[in-house]
Amino acid sequence: MAEINAVQKKVGYLGPRGTFSEEIALSFYRGVEGSFTPYHSISSVIMAVDAGEVIEGIVPVENSLEGTVNVTLDTLAHEANLFIVKEMVKPIRHNLIAKPDTKHINVICSHAQALAQCRHFLDQHYPNTERIEVESTAAAAYKVASGAKNYAAIGSVRSAEIYGLEVLDQNIQDNPNNVTRFLVLSKAPANTSECKAKTSIVCQINGEKAGALYNILGEFAKRNVNLTKIESRPSRGGIGVYVFFFDIEGSWEDENVAAAINAVKAGSIWFKNLGSYPIHTVE
């Protein structure tokens, strides 16, 4: 039994060390023994869960300013067969960090979304400084720490600590309403019988026009089932052909939710259940 417990704690996250995904892993699994493995991309985290290398994987799915992390939805829809087992919402605070005693900054590097989320700060204070996109905020901190001269990174206070960097400016994000939703993914569905839950599905509706989506939304509306999000993504079959992701309040175990989803499934030419899962907020 000890071995099964150990296996259950193998968690993959979007690395390297110091990412917000790692912070989520550490705060959520606090006090739990286990191994935490960083992966170099979101799709590699998801495919590692799919391949059984790790039991759970943590990836970002949506930011309140920049919107959906497309690769997360696309990989869940088209490449992996997994369930969402938890959702976690975390406030994001960005900082400008550099090596101690950096006098002049020629280049600021970070993940594309972090650069975008600090655009007004950068335009105001560093209008002529080159901006370079790297895979993650932590990769940016690593790049700065490993020797790039006159570089600064945008990242978390934790990534500055890990890589021996100094925080030059704190909380530099343009908008205070900056939170990110993370998903925990697994091959087995979650148990939602005793908690507040959401359910996610993805489908390609039979018909491409407004009327088809209208009818699908009617299945939810007439059963008083609330949607928290609708997202269309390319089906990869040509422009104008979409799959729709629905985030639904409630669980498959709720009679109305199950009835609405079954009606949607009946009206779809392709359908995938991404699971029911509890929701958490992490500070």
Residues within the interface to its own copies (CB under 8 A): 62-67, 70-71, 89, 112, 116, 133, 175, 177, 179, 181, 209-211, 213-214, 217-218, 220-221, 225-234, 236-240, 242
Identity of the residue, 80 or 116, whose beta carbon is nearer to its own copies in the bound complex: 116
Nearest Cα neighbor of 278 from 189, 188, 146 is 189
Identity of the residue, 163 or 220, whose beta carbon is nearer to its own copies in the bound complex: 220
- Say if CB 114 and CB 80 are below 8 A apart: no
Closest distance of CB 9 from its own copies, Å:
29
Dig out the tokens for 129 from the structure.
Answer: 């400084």
How many Å apart are CA 192 and CA 50, to the nearest integer? 22
Closest distance of CB 130 from its own copies, Å:
10
Q: Which amino acid is at 245?
A: F
The neighbour count for residue 228, using CB atoms within 10 Å, is 11
How many Å apart are CA 32 and CA 26, to the nearest integer? 9
Identity of the residue, 35 or 226, whose beta carbon is nearer to its own copies in the bound complex: 226
Dmax (CA) for the chain in angstroms is 63
Identity of the residue, 63 or 251, whose beta carbon is nearer to its own copies in the bound complex: 63
Exposure b/e, 119-134, CB count within 10 A at least 16 = b:
eebbeeebeeeebeeb
Taking the mean position of all CA atoms in its chain, how far away is CA 239?
A: 25
Identity of the residue, 149 or 236, whose beta carbon is nearer to its own copies in the bound complex: 236
